[in-house]
Homo-oligomer: A and B are copies of this chain.
């Protein structure tokens, strides 16, 4: 597949994990969505990233759309390790948690942190670039603690966050945490269950490429790539 994305947007990282877990090769293309390239807008008027091409057909826009597509099209190749359970209520729980991370956590935590600390440095000033908004950062830093406790409550009561099996929800959550951790904004001390769960995710081969991503002007937190942090 050809995947238009930005390496520090959590939904794009989620998509990369989904593809890697299915052993689907992806050519990654950085899409500076703030430039709203006419060819990009024409096929994807919501400017949603990731946007993936699988062959000649129309692009798949957004991580949730891509997730369902990959499961339907390629999930059968890994029946014992399928990332979407078969029970209808468990499927609903996986989707609830995926949306939690691609939408709610993104809006309240990862999106503001990444926008203020990474994207605004890359964007030209006429496209929204500039100095970080300290009020937005403060609110995101407050929100992250409540989110850690919620994730902790899932991690402690269940084997994986959506239940007994490893699912798309674990990948969406880990992708979101990984950008927060890159920026040194993850309160690991707040909940040991979250840390233990994240360590399992971080050790998966699918995760490795994410750990070598580097933002142009922002260095990763010292333990970012450590499997034993």
Contact = CB atoms under 8 A, between A and B. Distances in A.
The A interface, classified by DSSP as helix, strand, loop or mixed, is helix
Interface in A44-97: 45-46, 57-58, 60-62, 64-66, 68-69, 72-73, 88-89, 91-93, 95-96
B92 A69 contact: yes
B45 A99 contact: no
Contacts of A73: 88
Contacts of A69: 88, 91-92
A58 B104 CA distance: 20
Contacts of A91: 68-69, 72
Contact of A58 (B64, B89, B99, B103): B89
Interface string A105-120: 0000000000000000
A40 interface: no
A34 interface: no
Given A46-B104, A91-B72, A150-B45, A99 B64 contact: yes
Interface of A: 45-46, 57-58, 60-62, 64-66, 68-69, 72-73, 88-89, 91-93, 95-96, 99-100, 103-104, 150
8 contacts: A45-B150, A61-B92, A62-B99, A66-B92, A68-B92, A68-B95, A72-B88, A72-B91
Given A60-B92, A65-B92, A65-B96, 11 more contacts: A46-B96, A46-B100, A57-B89, A58-B93, A60-B89, A61-B92, A66-B92, A68-B91, A69-B88, A72-B88, A73-B88
